[in-house]
Amino acid sequence: MMLQNKNAIIYGAGVSLGGAVAKALSAAGARVFLTGRNISSVQKVADEIFRSSGRVEVDRVDALDESAIKSHMEMAVKTAGMIDVSFNAAGVAVVQNIPLVNMTLSDFMHPVSFAMQTQFLTATAAGRMMMKQGSGVILSLTATPGGIGYPYTSGFAPACCAMECFSKNLASELGPYGVRVVNMRSGGSPDSRIFREAADNHPGEMKAVLQKMKEDTMLKNLPLMADIANVAVFLSSDMAGMITGVTIDVTCGTTASLNYRAGKRDVKGDNPFPTL
């Protein structure tokens, strides 16, 4: 197993991607410490892991509470000996689909403030612990707006950019201590909670939105939660031991190029812009 004898803390483990990563890390052999403010949703993930014979602990931790984060990490280290992986998947409410010129300051700033506060608190707490150990991996997650201009994404886009910059800078400071810091950039997973809820509430509209998102990618596809979780497993493993200070793009090529004009040509190759 790639993560045998590794210990991981996941913040926001009850949300869809947080839970997916938690289960993947466990399946790869890690002992996982799951946290969240909504303990019932975290417990559901823990129950799945337990039924799969995984080693799992559950605690209620507010990822905006510095003292709670510190106390929980000390407990985890006392229990497991060390912490090898820290991943913050805490979700944030975002007001989107409104032009920036029509937004209120509070709606714009909320995702930026929330994301940077929780990422700073959890990542630096892990960093201090891992510096003493001389090893560890700190992971974070952003989305497509972190890599390209993306209209009507309000404060979520600058939040992604800020997180990616923070991850890179933290990596530069922790690298001499043997600690790696890597961000993952998702293209939006259709099976994640936010997309599933939107599809349930607006099925016709979301079908068109998802199709447009797929057309924008090079692969004409979107990453599922399992794809993001698999990347997290790899980055947490010794196989990725020389990777730090970067954002790993899992957007199916969207942030390299908006590829809606490219598709499979016909046999003669004279139909460059077909409708997919």
DSSP 110-148: HHHHHHHHHHHHHHHHHHHHHHHHT-EEEEEEEEGGGTS
State the pLDDT at residue 239.
Answer: 97
Structural domain contains residue 261: no
pLDDT tens series, the chain, 276 aa: 899 999 999 999 987 899 999 999 999 999 999 999 989 999 999 999 999 999 999 999 999 999 999 999 999 999 999 999 999 999 888 888 899 999 999 999 999 999 999 999 999 999 999 999 999 999 999 999 999 998 999 999 999 999 999 999 999 999 999 999 999 999 988 888 888 877 788 888 888 888 988 998 999 999 999 999 999 999 999 999 999 999 999 999 999 888 777 877 655 555 554 444
Domain with residue 210: its CATH number is 3.40.50.720
**Amino acid occupying residue 1:** M
Structural domain contains residue 260: no
Structural domain contains residue 263: no
Closest CA relative to residue 8, chosen from 66, 68, 89: 89
The pTM (predicted TM-score) of the whole model is: 0.92
Structural domain contains residue 12: yes
Structural domain contains residue 258: no
Phi and psi dihedrals of 181, rounded to 5? -130, 120
Parent domain of 129: 7-250
- β-sheet with 247-250: strand ranges across: 56-60, 31-36, 7-11, 85-88, 136-143, 179-186, 247-250
Torsion sign (Cα): 48, 54, 60, 63: negative
Closest CA relative to residue 224, chosen from 249, 194, 195, 188: 188
Structural domain contains residue 267: no
- Structural domains of the chain, count: 1
Coil, helix or strand at residue 50: helix
State the pLDDT at residue 276.
Answer: 41
Closest CA relative to residue 74, chosen from 1, 129, 3: 129
State the pLDDT at residue 204.
Answer: 83
- Residue 195 DSSP one-character state: H
Task: Report the C-alpha gap between 72 and 129 in whole angstroms.
Answer: 12
Structural domain contains residue 272: no
Structural domain contains residue 266: no
